[in-house]
A and B are shown apart, each in its own frame.
Chain A
Amino acid sequence: MEETKNKAKILAVAGKGGVGKTSLCSAIVRHLVAAHPGKRILAIDADPAIGLSTALGIQVDHTLDDIRNAVIETSERGEYRQAIEILNEARFRIFDTMVECEGFSFLAIGRPEAAGCYCSVNSYLKEVISMLAGDFDYVVIDCEAGIEQISRRVLDEVTHLLLITDQSAKGVNVCREIKEVADELIKYERIGIICNRVVDPSMNDLIKLEGVENLAFIPTDPAHAANDIQGKSVFELPEDSNIMVGVKEALTAIDMI
């Protein structure tokens, strides 16, 4: 008997490097956990820079890249495996790699040992998202900076695309580029932009992307800076900090909380 699985809300956080994607992503996870107790939430650190685990206060021992390497090693040994066995081996290992925390689960893509291209681990990530999405109610993905994961169709199943920028033309341009590629390749339901680290609110009118809703303008957050330098997680950030308030506003605007 076939049973329909959940239709997960899959939220991808993308943008230029250095605009605070990871901090906002961790705040999103915290808000979802608080707003939806009992719901299944999965946070995926898809950025090889590996920052989300620290922001969420998680110790990561294994990553998706470790699983991928183990599977490659088997095939290089010339051992015969049917597709169903490879799939089950991956599933077996994923649950050892997934960290279960209070209110949410966590997976990290990892940093491939080989220098340069991340394509293969990105393809693997796509399969994993597809495999696990039905088991969760919310999936939050902290994407790699730039458009790579969008253009390689890693994020095919994303339902909500959150673009993050700062008050820089470069940041907005990267968001525009991501949107253009996403429009071609992803059937997302909602898209929005968050402007982070706002220094001069009078410039906010310049943050505009056609067809993209402005979800929040978040002023530079001294509380977050202090939290970060002390190695504290997002769960220790004051509720009234700029990031927590701004992210709440953005999630409310897209009916996530």
Chain B
Amino acid sequence: MDLFNVFINETNEQLGAPKQKWAYNARDAWKDLGTSELVLMKDAAFELGGSGKAAVNYTCVTDDKSLVSGDEILLYGPDLKDLKADSTFARIAFLGVKEISKDEQEAFNTIQNMEFVKYHVFPEGYMMRVSPESNREQVRVSKKAIKKGISFKSVGADYIKQYHSNPNITAVKLIFITDPSVDYKALTERAKKVNEVTKTMNKILEGLPENLDCASCSFKPVCDEVEGLKELHFGKEGMKKMGKK
């Protein structure tokens, strides 16, 4: 399963070394409420991605152990306790998996289930709003939570704990970005492409005609960029017959 490897590599290249890095320890996990919580503006210390600032989110799945070797939390920019106002924000998750089924439909379901874990993480005082439409993820952090010492290390540990509730996930690299100097435009573009891959997979699985001319297909740009999608469509044999790489 190397559909997302290109995006993992691009992200690593773009970001370079993090400001801070922590190994995952389940004991660091921030209290999870198990259900969504409303943090009103008046109770919020600030909103990550608030006031129209950049807010990006994407998740990439891979079975390449060299890309996601262990559980870790990376931070680029100031931690929560150091933020005093609404900030730019990105959260990116790279999920290492045992193996993805050869059955395409099963593979797609597995990927979606892993991606949807983000909708089941509810750190106390950390109200996430996720827009699948725009790939935005905004977070209102409550004044109370800041007072209690919430940090990306503890929120990240909560995420990783929840990701590990899926037995297929073997390792998680979780990246938080608040540094305003990061190129969020590039991250947003990448988030769109990651989203396109999932959408394209779904379209292929819904059934595109086998004799479809790639030149006239609206998914051509994403198929050209992401290795594995054409194979998913035509199968290995079909690729050989058509002389496609």
Contacts and interface: CB of A to CB of B under 8 A. Distances in A.
A215 to B, nearest CB: 30
Dominant secondary structure at the B interface: mixed
B183 to A, nearest CB: 24
Contact of A92 (B37, B129, B202, B203): B129
Nearest to A4: B35
Contact of A5 (B35, B138, B202): B35
A82 B38 contact: no
Interface residues of B, number: 24
Nearest to A94: B129
A79 interface: yes
Interface stretch (A83-91, A106-114, A121-129, A174-182): A83-91
A2 B35 contact: yes
A222 to B, nearest CB: 35
Nearest to B118: A88
B132 A100 contact: no
Contact of A88 (B132, B202, B203): B132
Interface residues of A, number: 24
B132 A89 contact: yes
B41 A3 contact: no
B40 A88 contact: no
B133 A89 contact: yes
B199 interface: yes
A85 B133 CA distance: 9
A84 B130 CA distance: 11
A84 B112 CA distance: 11
B104 interface: no
A207 to B, nearest CB: 39
A242 to B, nearest CB: 32
A40 B131 contact: no
A74 B199 contact: no
A135 interface: yes
Contact of B116 (A74, A84, A132, A136): A84
Nearest to B201: A80
Contacts of A132: 38
B131 A92 contact: yes
Given A3-B33, A82-B112, A88 B119 contact: yes
A80 B199 contact: yes
B33 A1 contact: yes
Contacts of B206: 80
Contacts of A3: 33-35
A9 B226 CA distance: 52
B199 A88 contact: no
Nearest to A90: B131
A82 B42 contact: no
Contacts of B131: 88-89, 92-93
Interface in B37-69: 37-38, 40-42
A249 B231 CA distance: 72
Which of A74, A89, A92, A135 has the most B CB atoms < 10 Å from its CB? Answer: A92
Contacts of A80: 199, 202-203, 206
A105 interface: yes
Nearest to B112: A82
B34 to A, nearest CB: 4
Interface in A35-94: 40, 70, 74, 79-82, 84-85, 88-89, 91-93
Contacts of B33: 1, 3
A40 B40 contact: yes
B116 A100 contact: no
Contact of A135 (B38, B116, B129, B136): B38
A1 B130 CA distance: 21
17 contacts: A1-B33, A1-B34, A3-B33, A74-B133, A80-B202, A84-B119, A88-B119, A88-B130, A88-B132, A89-B131, A89-B132, A92-B131, A92-B136, A93-B131, A100-B41, A135-B37, A136-B38
Question: Which 10 pairs across A and B sit closest by C-beta, in order of nearness?
Answer: A135-B38, A85-B132, A92-B131, A1-B34, A92-B129, A2-B34, A100-B41, A80-B202, A88-B130, A3-B33
Given A1-B32, A84-B119, 7 more contacts: A40-B38, A70-B133, A80-B206, A88-B131, A100-B42, A132-B38, A136-B38
